[in-house]
Structures are given as C-alpha cells and as structure tokens.
Amino acid sequence: MKILILGAGKMGSFFCDVLSTTHDVAIFDTDPRRLLFTFNCRRFSTMEEIEEFTPDMVINAATVKYTIQAFRRIMPYVPDNCILSDIASVKTGLPDFYRESGHPFVSTHPMFGPTFASLSNLSQENAIIIAEGDHLGKVFFKDLYRQLNLHIEEYTFQEHDETIAYSLSIPFASTLVFASCMKHQSAPGTTFKRHKAIADGLMGEDDYLLSEILFNPNTSGQLEKIREKLAELQKIVESHDSEAMQDYLDRVRQNLK
C-alpha cells in the first residue's frame, strides 16, 4: 500500500518507522529540516510530489491545531478513493469534515504519546478506533495496532469524546491544579517528585492540545466531580472526622480496583 504521512514530528516519524518495512511510505512536512530525521521512506515537501505518488491512504499526524487544515491542503492532490485517516486525540470538527470530504476515512486515537510512553514497548498501552470509519481502513489499523501489542477499543465519535473527557481531562486538570499550587522543595518526598515528573511531562505538551482536550464539551461535568470530591475531602479534613476519612479512603481504594 502507498501511504502518505503528514507531519514529521514524533508520532509521524514513529508511524513512518513502523510502516516503512511493509509499505511504500512517503512523509510530507512543511519544514524540510524535519525530514532529515526520517528513514526508509520518500521525503516530500511539495504538492506535486504528493500528486505523483498517488497514495492509497493518508495518515494525518500533523499537530492537532492543524489537522483539518493539513487535510484540506493535500486533498486536491490525492485520488478520490484515497482513504483519509487521522490519529488526533481531539476529534472536534472531524466528523463534519469527513462527511463533506467525499473520501473514505478512518479515525483512530493511539492513546500513548512520546512524552510518557516508551514507543519501543507498547504492550501496556491502548488505542481507540472510531466505529464510523471505512471497513478496510479499520481493518488496516486493527492489524497494525495488534502488531504493536496495543489493547484496542472501538468507540463512536461521541463515545470517544466522552471517554477522553474522563481519561484525559481529569488527570490533566488534577495535574494543572497540583502544579499551580506547587512550591519549590529543597528536600522533596518521593510522591512529590513523581507528581512533579508528571507535571513536567504534561507541560511539555503543545498548549493548543492541552486547551482543546480541556475544552471538550464533556470536560465540565468531570471538573464538577473533582470539585465535589475536593469539597468533601476539605470538609472531612476541617472537621478531623476520622470515621469519614476512613470511609473516603475505602471508597478511593475501591475505585482503584
């Protein structure tokens, strides 16, 4: 299969490395300097090269802020039957775009990132495949993700957004609150250091990505749950209610099972 990857960042380069051994892969980036770090593939920097390549599939690994913009730029230069695919963690606007594009599509979300995951060992990581996608496109990514030993779930676009609001918005918001209250520690404890490492990694992500994940329409309800649980904990602490604290801790442990 001829596969065009948009974006030579960490995820684009990762997919290039994974796919180039079994497919004819080309990678396009608006910054030719980033193409210097890609191997075993064709390197494109012009629309004419894309048109001549006639890809069977496009994997859009551009920064989430530019996902749809990147699609629109290359669409006049790819065949009508070319499968469009994205790996975006934020699907805002993509269902409407795909409906209007006239192309077969497949949307997935590999739920690991270069900040925290080891891209050489993904056996403990997950991926979501969107149910509304093209059958052949979904089969392609299911086979790929199984080869990477990822656990796969299939969700609709709506179910994906609801899941991301829970699985990303809660830890993102909690980490932001921790970091916003943080003071320099000359002798930090183990728990503090672990939380700080998570915060450092999170703040190394793209600001637009963080904002869009938190702007998910389902995030507000999750933040309300955090506020309610924090208020409950504050009340217990202020009253020194040992029995209530034990009950709170027991419920937390039950949630972690």
Tell me which residue of 136, 129, 132, 135 sits closest to 109, measured CA to CA.
Answer: 129
Tell me which residue of 79, 140, 73 sits closest to 108, measured CA to CA.
Answer: 140
**Whole-number mean pLDDT of the chain?**
92
Tell me which residue of 105, 87, 106, 68 sits closest to 13, measured CA to CA.
Answer: 87
| Average of per-residue pLDDT across 200-206 | 88
| Average of per-residue pLDDT across 111-138 | 81
| Average of per-residue pLDDT across 220-242 | 95
129 pLDDT higher than 60: yes
Give the model's confidence band at 120: pLDDT under 50 very low, under 70 low, under 90 confident, else very high: low
Give the model's confidence band at 223: pLDDT under 50 very low, under 70 low, under 90 confident, else very high: very high
57 pLDDT higher than 90: yes
- Whole-model pTM: value is 0.81
Comparing 108 with 122, the larger pLDDT belongs to: 108
Give the model's confidence band at 137: pLDDT under 50 very low, under 70 low, under 90 confident, else very high: very high
CB crowding 79-105: b at 16 or more within 10 Å, else e: eeebbbbbbbbbbbebbebbeeeebbb
CA distance 67 to 19: 20
Give the model's confidence band at 241: pLDDT under 50 very low, under 70 low, under 90 confident, else very high: very high
45 pLDDT higher than 70: yes
Structure tokens at 32: 């030719």
138 pLDDT higher than 90: yes
CA distance 257 to 153: 20
3-class secondary structure, 108: strand
Partners of 2 in the beta sheet? 24
* The pLDDT value given to residue 114: 54
157 pLDDT higher than 70: yes
Alpha-carbon separation of residue 143 from 26, 38, 60, 129, 189 (angstroms): 20, 23, 18, 12, 43
Identity of residue 86? D
Provide φ and ψ at 55, rounded to 5°: -65, 150
- Express as a percent the part of the chain with pLDDT over 90: 71
* The pLDDT value given to residue 118: 58
Give the model's confidence band at 213: pLDDT under 50 very low, under 70 low, under 90 confident, else very high: confident
Give the model's confidence band at 92: pLDDT under 50 very low, under 70 low, under 90 confident, else very high: confident
